Amino acid sequence: MEHWSPTKITAFRKTLLSWYDEAGRVLPWRKDHDPYHVWVSEIMLQQTQVQTVIPYYQRFMTMFPTVDALASAPTEQLMRAWAGLGYYSRARNLQRAAQEIVNERHGQWPTTAVELQSLTGIGPYTAGAIASIAFGEPVPAVDGNAFRVFSRLMEIDADITKPQTRQLFEQVIGEVIDPKRPGDFNQAIMDLGSSYMTAKQPDSEHSPVRAFNQAFLDGKELNYPVRSAKPRPVPMAYLALVIQTPTGYLFTQRPSTGMLAGLWTFPLQLEADLVQDDEKQGELDEEILIKRAAEEFAADTGIEVTLSAVPSRRVSHTFTHQKWQLKLVQATLSADPDLSLFPGQVIAPSAFAQFAMPTVQQKLWRAWVKTMESDKGKEG
């Protein structure tokens, strides 16, 4: 890897910050340096692109304008505000940290990166971002952009998926960061990383820091950053139970830990759980599968249903590490069932907005609506 002289570092700071002053993005959370604004935006931006975050951030600030409002908000309301954004533990951790600031720190923010990291949900990157942007501490904020930008600038060959590599980058960037404008420096790196120095289609030819970009100068830009491949999502087959009652549909609230924690979906039945030891999944007749799903559902919940397949309605949804294939099956109950053994409730479509539902549930609902529309067409 390259090593930069003090002269080169000075020149880089000037070039980068001049460009940022002129071309830095105007974003809703950049109107001031209020730590609450910086914090909420940084949490939302974890693994999430700017364009996705903007509307969520704006709604969030209307609903929870201060750290006190967030601390005292009903968690259900918070989860509704977050629904669709993903990584839902971010929202819970955000509220936990807000409560800690209000109740245990008397509304006083920690002002250094080290102290900020003691708050739930704030790791090394977010701590660096808040400390530098809101409080002017000269610390790096090493995210995916920083990894990409500096690995190219200096041809750093360390594998960025390895935890130790972060320390190398923090040290390198710690030397280059402008101690007079650390927040602007870190944000300028992010803007650079999402404009001229993108992952797939960089435009380093026209980049303001083209002359500092060793990988580009050597024609090896797309070799950086070095990262080992991620494992493929594991396929998982589910039956999604669309159970209609006179007043709505049966929904479960998922357990408070694990995937989609606390969110509301149709009851889901893992097909693998319906397959017996001496059987191979995928070879089981669909009718048998559906029959067993009804038996399993009755055993779990005490609710008797007669399930039937919903023809050609399949939903696919890929998470980071799981690929779900869901088949819709449906049942209609003539009366609302006894829900004493069922971890959920009947929800009318008009009330869906009051519940936090993940994207996979939105897909299931759209598929079901299409089914009803096509059935209606046949009748008419």
Q: Does residue 230 belong to the site contacting DNA (CB under 7 A)?
A: yes
Q: Which of 129, 209, 290, 294 binds DNA (CB under 7 A)?
A: 129
Nearest approach, Cβ of residue 191 and DNA (Å) = 7
Which of 222, 288 has the CB closer to DNA? 222
Q: Does residue 26 belong to the site contacting DNA (CB under 7 A)?
A: no
Interacting span for DNA (CB under 7 A) from 287-295, 300-308, 311-319, 337-345: 311-319
Q: Does residue 332 belong to the site contacting DNA (CB under 7 A)?
A: no
| Cross-strand partners of 248 | 245
Which of 127, 239 has the CB closer to DNA? 127
Which one of 2, 22, 42, 379 is the catalytic residue? 42
Q: Does residue 252 belong to the site contacting DNA (CB under 7 A)?
A: no
Q: Which of 63, 227, 245, 253 binds DNA (CB under 7 A)?
A: 227
Q: Does residue 259 belong to the site contacting DNA (CB under 7 A)?
A: yes
Nearest approach, Cβ of residue 246 and DNA (Å) = 29
42 as an active site residue: the answer is yes
Chain residues binding DNA by CB under 7 A are 25, 27, 41-42, 45-52, 83-89, 93, 117, 120-127, 129, 143-145, 148, 162-164, 187, 190-191, 193-194, 198-201, 227, 229-232, 258-261, 316-322, 358-360
The catalytic site residues sit at 42
